[in-house]
Amino acid sequence: MLRESLWAAALSPEELDQVLRESHERRVPPGGYALHCGEPAEHWIGVIEGLVKMSVSQPDGRHSTFTGVTAGGWAGEGSLLKPGRWRYDGVAVRDTRIACVPRASFERLVSTNLAFNRFLLSHLNARLSLFIGLVEYDRLLGPDARVARCLASLFDPDLYPRAGNFVQLSQEEIGLLSAVSRQRTNESLHELQRAGLLRVEFGGVIVLDLAGLRCYGGPVDAAASKES
């Protein structure tokens, strides 16, 4: 997984071999923590397989999910660029395997490899665009459009280079990432299927029109698009 990561192309064979020797793998069960709010940020996290939900919780039980990191995605680089602790939780939604690159390895690459820094700039810009979009979706869009945009965000080539056209997510998982109830997520997925943007399959959805998902505004917009 490390060798196939986008940032690996920025490293010399010797640099990559050193990172491989220094890194390790962890298996995280459903509900387990890939990273835990308040703990020292000591590893850059890559998802080998599974799904990690990035979220924050309040003492009163309120909970907010930011995004999900699927296979091939990396997380935590922002926290590693400065000393400190995790400010959010990374919780495995299902059985998950993660690659852990130590802080020391990450900091060495930042200090010595210009091409790796260019990768980080592109990666952080993609992450910033994702979160700006999430704020927009939450404030301006209805549930159908939020589900559509959430699914589309999982196909950003800078964040999830291994994404195909099949999203292996349950309806409950899609609802968690979209901040939509499971029942309402089911209705939204079938609305998006009727619009010809995806097909609901066992264990996930097949995306038929990624561009359409990215700009979907709701049933009214979809009807207007067909008429035009």
pLDDT of residue 220: 52
84-87 contact pairs (CB < 8 A, 24+):
84/40, 84/41, 85/37, 85/38, 85/39, 85/40, 85/41, 86/35, 86/36, 86/37, 86/38, 86/39, 86/40, 86/41, 87/37, 87/56
Q: DSSP letter for 7, please.
A: G
Q: Residue ranges per domain, the chain?
A: 6-126, 141-227
Q: What are the pLDDT digits (tens) for 115-164?
A: 999 999 999 988 888 777 776 666 667 889 889 988 888 877 778 777 67
Q: Does pLDDT of 212 surpass 70?
A: yes
In CATH terms, the superfamily for domain 6-126 is Jelly Rolls (2.60.120.10)
pLDDT of residue 170: 81
Sheet containing strand 74-75, edge to edge, reads: 24-28, 96-102, 43-49, 74-75
pTM of the predicted protein model: 0.78
Q: What are the pLDDT digits (tens) for 53-96?
A: 888 877 777 767 777 888 889 999 999 998 889 999 999 988 99
CATH number for the region 141-227 comes to 1.10.10.10
Q: Does pLDDT of 225 surpass 50?
A: no
pLDDT of residue 137: 66
